[in-house]
Structure 1
Amino acid sequence: MNSVVVQQPQQLALVARPMPEPAQGEVRIKVLRAGICGSDIHIFHGSNPFAKYPRVIGHEFFGVIDAVGEGVLATRLGQRVVVDPVVSCGHCYPCSVGRPNVCKTLQVIGVHRDGGFSQYSCVPEGNAYELPAEIPDEEAALIEPFTIAANICEQLQPTPLDVALVYGAGPMGLTVVQALRGVYGVEKIVVTDRIPERLQMAQENGADLLVDNSVIDLPTYLAEQGISPTLIVDAACHPTILPQAIALASPAARIGIMGFSSDECVINQQLITSKEITIVSSRLNRRRFPQVIQWCQDKKIQPRKLITHTYSYQQVEQAMALFEKDQKSCCKVVLTF
């Protein structure tokens, strides 16, 4: 079989590897589709601190179970499945309180262990969720990105009364916008970004007000519009955002942080306490796959709107370069196998 392997930073190759055999409790998946994520780019560049090399990348993927390991029922053969990349121990403190996404011995498929940019991939049976027939192949690889939105929304508990502000109109920001509008019924959603084409995508995915903060001062604009956000999501992860979000937030607002920036920022504790602001962070997902699969079945989200490009896995270098460099026309890139 062929696998997309980052041999070491800046070295990507298609490598012929032996067919893997599922271990006890595992299933083998014949991969059909896989989405490219920013973390794949980070592993390629050597800027993901968790990755070990060589590594088969890819954590957004789906396919068909074609083999099962010991202890797995044969009835799973032939199932169309999407893969949760979070592999946890099940007994540490975070796991015991329902937070396996921050397990003390967390492994992420495609980061800590080989992932889905391969013709075949073996994963724990419990990480493979069966898909209903009505969810088409081209949308299936987008289930995982929407679990990230589901995770942060579960913590923020949006309601129709909220006025939402989303920083960043990249793939993560857009999944949040779709969830806020389609699932939680938030009626006013402001999105800010520095790329006009991305703001247009945000509008197509449910945003009401668009702010190009490369030319418009966001605090001034919101003040002129009389907008005091009650729910803020940082999907851009720049060190200037959290201090600004705290200043802009309504009393009793909730702020959600996505991303892994290690840059320091200075925040004003008085502003947080005086307005009793809730600040939460979110990593990966806490078994949100059944929830997002149901969203898709109920047509509350539209994953296909995010797919702008599709490539064969044999064109992975071209696909990853496009994803990284063309932020004007590119949102989600899907590889076919």
Structure 2
Amino acid sequence: MKSIVVKNPDELVIEDRPLPAPAAGEVRVRIKLAGICGSDSHIYRGHNPFAQYPRVIGHEFFGVIDAIGEGVDSLRLGQRVSVDPVISCGHCYPCSVGKPNVCTSLVVLGVHRDGGFSEYAVVPAKNAFAIPDNLADHHAVMVEPFTIAANVTGQVNPGKNDIALVYGAGPMGLTTVQVLKGVYKVRQVIVVDRIDERLAMAQKSGADTVINNREHSLAARLIEEGIQPTLIVDAACHPSILQEAISLASPAARIVIMGFSSEPTEIIQQGITGKEISIFSSRLNANKFPLVIDWLTQGLIDPDKLITHTFDYQQVADAIEVFEKDQRQCCKVLLTFPS
């Protein structure tokens, strides 16, 4: 089989590898589609502190089960599945409180273990979620990106009276906008970014108000309109954002941090306690695949608004370059594998 391998930072190759056989409790998935995420780019460029090399990257993938290991129901053969990349132990403290996404022995497909940028992948059977017949393949491959937004929103229980401010109109910010509007029906979603084309994507995804903070002061605009956000999602993760979010937030607001900036940030504690602001963080997803599949089935979210490019897997280097460099036109890039 052909597999896309990052041998070392900035060294990406397509290798011939033996066809893997599923062990007990595992299934083999013949990959049909995979999505490129920022973390794939970071592994490729050597910027992901969790990555181990060499690595078959890719943690957003969809395909068909073509082989099963011992103990797996034979009815699963031929099943269309989307794969949850989070593999957890199930018994440590985080797992016991419903947070397998931060398991003390966490393994993430495509990061710590070979992932889905391959013609075939072997995964735990419990991580392969059946896709209903009425969901298109290119929607099924988008389940994982929407689970990130599901995890974010699941932390803060959005309500119809919320005024939400989302920093960043990249893929994660845009999935969050869709979930806030399409699922939770929040009163107002404001998106701030520095790229007009990304802000147009945010409007397409349901944002009520967009602000280019390269051209306009976010604080001045909100003050002018008398807006104090009750829910703030930081999907951009620049070190300066958290303090600004604290200063702009309504009393009793919730703030969620999504990213992995390694730069220090400076905050004024009085701004948090004076308003009794709750600050959350979110990583990966905690058992959100069934929820997102249900949202897709109900038509509450629409992946078509995010998918901008599709490449054959053999063009993966070009695909990643487009993903990295074309921030004005590119949002979600998919790779196709032979049927």
User: Residues 47-102 of structure 1, C-alpha deviation per residue, up to 9 Å, x if partnerless?
Assistant: 11111111000000010000001111111000000000000011111011111000
Q: In structure 2, what is the equivalent of residue 13 of structure 1?
A: 13
Q: In structure 1, what is the equivalent of residue 179 of structure 2?
A: 179
CA distance in 1, matches of 2:134, 2:243: 43
Q: In structure 2, what is the equivalent of residue 321 of structure 1?
A: 321
Shift in Å at residue 157 of structure 1? 0.7
Whether 1:273 and 2:273 are equivalent positions in the alignment is yes
CA distance in 1, matches of 2:228, 2:127: 40
CA distance in 1, matches of 2:150, 2:138: 20
CA distance in 1, matches of 2:11, 2:140: 28
CA distance in 2, matches of 1:254, 1:263: 22
User: Residues 255-288 of structure 1, C-alpha deviation per residue, up to 9 Å, x if partnerless?
Assistant: 0000101110111111111101000000000000
Gaps of 5+ in 2: none
SS of 1:316's equivalent in the other structure is helix
Q: In structure 2, what is the equivalent of residue 159 of structure 1?
A: 159
CA distance in 1, matches of 2:51, 2:276: 38
CA distance in 2, matches of 1:15, 1:139: 28
CA distance in 2, matches of 1:65, 1:194: 42
**1:318 is aligned with what amino acid?**
D
Q: In structure 1, what is the equivalent of residue 39 of structure 2?
A: 39
**1:28 is aligned with what amino acid?**
R
CA distance in 1, matches of 2:49, 2:275: 36
**1:331 is aligned with what amino acid?**
C
Whether 1:188 and 2:188 are equivalent positions in the alignment is yes
CA distance in 2, matches of 1:329, 1:246: 31
CA distance in 2, matches of 1:35, 1:262: 25
CA distance in 2, matches of 1:249, 1:295: 29
SS of 2:285's equivalent in the other structure is coil
Q: In structure 2, what is the equivalent of residue 49 of structure 1?
A: 49
Q: In structure 1, what is the equivalent of residue 288 of structure 2?
A: 288
- 1:106-145 superposed matches below 5 A: 106-145=106-145
**1:53 is aligned with what amino acid?**
Y
Q: Give every structure 1 segment of 4 or more consecutive aligned residues whose post-TM-superposition deviation is greater than 2 Å.
A: none
CA distance in 1, matches of 2:116, 2:92: 27
Shift in Å at residue 290 of structure 1? 0.2
Identity of aligned residues (%): 64
CA distance in 2, matches of 1:224, 1:206: 23
Shift in Å at residue 187 of structure 1? 2.2
CA distance in 1, matches of 2:130, 2:57: 22
CA distance in 2, matches of 1:314, 1:256: 37
SS of 1:315's equivalent in the other structure is helix
CA distance in 1, matches of 2:154, 2:50: 26
User: Residues 178-220 of structure 1, C-alpha deviation per residue, up to 9 Å, x if partnerless?
Assistant: 0000000012110000011000000000001111000101000
**2:101 is aligned with what amino acid?**
N
Shift in Å at residue 304 of structure 1? 1.4
CA RMSD between the two structures: 0.5
Q: In structure 2, what is the equivalent of residue 208 of structure 1?
A: 208
Q: In structure 2, what is the equivalent of residue 149 of structure 1?
A: 149
CA distance in 2, matches of 1:49, 1:24: 31
Shift in Å at residue 140 of structure 1? 1.1
**1:222 is aligned with what amino acid?**
L
Shift in Å at residue 141 of structure 1? 1.1
Shift in Å at residue 247 of structure 1? 0.3
Q: In structure 1, what is the equivalent of residue 239 of structure 2?
A: 239
SS of 1:47's equivalent in the other structure is coil
**2:165 is aligned with what amino acid?**
L
How many residues of Structure 1 are paired with residues of Structure 2 in the alignment? 337
Shift in Å at residue 319 of structure 1? 0.4
**2:63 is aligned with what amino acid?**
G
User: Residues 155-195 of structure 1, C-alpha deviation per residue, up to 9 Å, x if partnerless?
Assistant: 11101100000000000000000000000001211000001
SS of 1:198's equivalent in the other structure is helix
